[in-house]
Chain A
Amino acid sequence: MLAMILKRLLVAIPSLIGVVIITFLLTRALPGDPAAYFAGPAATQEAIAQVRAKLGLDQPLPTQFMRYAADLARGDLGTSLTTGQPVATEIRNRLPASAELTLLGLIISVLIAVPLGILAATRPGSLVDHACRVLTTAGVSLPVFFTGLILVYVFYYLLGFAPAPLGRLDVFFSAPEAITGFYLLDSLIARDLETFRAALAQLLLPALTLAIFSLAPIARMTRASMLAVLASDFVRTARANGLTPFTVVVTYAFRNAMLPVVTTLGMVFSFLLGANVLVEKVFAWPGIGSYAVEALIASDFAPVQGFVLTMAALYVALNLVIDILYGLIDPRVRIEA
């Protein structure tokens, strides 16, 4: 198992190098001259040339790339032009907000989609099956920012259940002491149920938006994969041996049907990381997505670059976790590796 993880880590390295190269090229393709920007509007040609030399922008591209890679290795993602803060610090501060939102969205989505897919597969042609089909087709067509706005309108404006879509916590509450950075966990650790309830209230609508968005591919894949497994010989044998339908479906069939579902989870996560940006904008969520959007609008490129890099690194890491999960679910994968 350990050997497999190490091997998989080695395979992840080329992807990471590719990611770094592309992010580097993206910044170098930027319109405008950063040297002129730093030197200020009143700078002379000489001053601009000086700044350019100081920033290393007069070096050939490969040298610039080595400098960039060396900075990265030290965890330096540059400095934001608008806030003056180091990008790495800001991303570290904002990442828990995005992670809490994305993970809760994914958990809600799996909790609904997997049972729905299994029910649809065990009762083909039933009402559940049709509901599943409608949901999956409609789900992929919904723009995630639109779902979010509809939820806000219904649950905040019409029904008044949800708080105003403005950030992680209502202004009357103060943030719990940061231990994990996740407000839900931190408030529980601090035994502060009031804050927990307030944080959950803020989190529920955006998480639900993400869940609706990611429901469709998971339910669809669970259904298809369960259908295939339920039609196989070993399930027939298990049934013939008189096992209860529950044991057959959950213990025998589901474990075997899980591999494609886990693969889909990886893809869904990629979508979620993108959708996160849109949802954060709708709910004024102070995560890294809204950080990137603010920077984009101000043409501040260091944060954008840091954001793209962080997202890509997260995604590569996630794919690694998924491969390890494969090994846990299916021992055959371990042996082949």
Chain B
Amino acid sequence: MTPLTFRRDEPAARTSGLLAVVKHGRYVIGENPVTGFAFALFVVIVFAAVFGPYVVPYDPLASDTAAALKGPSAAHWFGTDQLGRDVFSRVVVATRLDFVIALASVALVFAMGGLAGVAAGFFGGWTDRIVGRLADTIMAFPLFVLAMGIVAALGNTVQNIVIATAIVNFPLYARIARSEANIRRDAGFVMAARLSGNGEFRILLAHILPNIMPIMIVQMSLTMGYAILNAAGLSFIGLGVRPPTAEWGIMVAEGAAFMVSGEWWIAFFPGLALMVAVFCFNLLGDGLRDIVDPQRRT
């Protein structure tokens, strides 16, 4: 299979490799309509995140007690909550916050775990030992519990949810980056770069890192879903985002009390949005992995 050239790290072969990836990508989407579907879903999510606040029919924070606790109707597609706020508008507007939290935490963990892992795999020795120990210690905690502890310790803000989600994902990124960098540390192109007088850090950042990017990007897509779940879980138990902000986790928490009295829509629609978003990122991650690493396809 041609796309395997992508994993062989000759910089000269990269442009044709990229072309092969695009071609292979089109093939994978043709072969697997689910990936195409996930990509369409992703476009919808990004659209809601960017333009959501401008296209929704109601102000997500405006309460209207006369219309409180009404079921789904033509005026309110997803019904209204206990304060008469439009659930549909709130679900759409919340997309931006949830998406940004997930994106920021994934970017952060890529910067921390990815770089630490690459350095560990490339330099070996003490760097490797310290990064490995750190990852092991984090792995010794149940991850959600550790995230709770971190948010409790650092303070109850959205920013700290991002940090906590990044920290609990650190071992995963560090390990993948480490093993990928490790197999390349003595590769031909690294030797060549070294011979032509590049410093070790330059080799690390300019030669090793770009080569492991495809695998890291797949990982980022796969962890996006987990990051959204983690953030929503934290705000569900009252950490991070505070009412009346529209966020999926907190909206489910607000609607939870009404589930036992039959007003299902308040919690159901934000929960559904959460599920669809996570589902989309998981499918997309699987699809991307098929493109980058066809051998691991299941």
Contacts and interface: CB of A to CB of B under 8 A. Distances in A.
Contacts of B232: 143
Interface string B134-163: 001110111111111110111100000000
Nearest to A307: B145
B145 A274 contact: yes
A30 interface: yes
B133 interface: yes
A275 interface: yes
- Identify the interface centre among B238, B259, B260: most chain A CB within 10 Å of its CB: B259
Interface string B227-239: 0010011001111
Given A141-B225, A274-B143, A277-B144, A152 B260 contact: yes
- Identify the interface centre among A18, A146, A164: most chain B CB within 10 Å of its CB: A146
B264 interface: yes
B154 to A, nearest CB: 7
Given A15-B136, A273-B142, A30 B153 contact: yes
B279 A316 contact: no
Given A19-B137, A145-B236, A149-B271, A270 B282 contact: no
B176 interface: no
Contact of B298 (A149, A224, A273): A224
Given A140-B282, A143-B271, A271 B144 contact: yes
- Identify the interface centre among B225, B233, B239: most chain A CB within 10 Å of its CB: B233
Contact of A292 (B148, B154, B236): B148
A3 to B, nearest CB: 23
Contacts of A278: 144, 233, 236-237
Interface string B263-290: 0100110010011001100110000000
Given A31-B155, A138-B279, A143-B252, A22 B137 contact: yes
A214 to B, nearest CB: 13
Interface string A134-169: 000110111111100110110011000000110000
Nearest to B228: A143
A137 B149 contact: no
Interface string B245-263: 0000100110110011110
Interface size class of A (residues with CB under 8 A): 35 or more
Given A30-B153, A277-B144, A304-B149, A141 B278 contact: yes
Interface of B: 133, 136-138, 140-150, 152-155, 225, 229, 232-233, 236-239, 249, 252-253, 255-256, 259-262, 264, 267-268, 271, 274-275, 278-279, 282-283, 298
24 contacts: A15-B136, A19-B137, A30-B153, A141-B275, A141-B278, A141-B282, A145-B253, A146-B271, A150-B271, A153-B264, A165-B260, A224-B298, A271-B142, A275-B144, A281-B237, A293-B237, A297-B238, A304-B152, A307-B145, A308-B141, A308-B149, A312-B142, A312-B145, A316-B140
Interface of A: 14-16, 18-19, 21-23, 26-27, 29-31, 137-138, 140-146, 149-150, 152-153, 156-157, 164-165, 224, 269-271, 273-275, 277-278, 281-282, 292-293, 296-297, 301, 304-305, 307-308, 311-312, 315-316
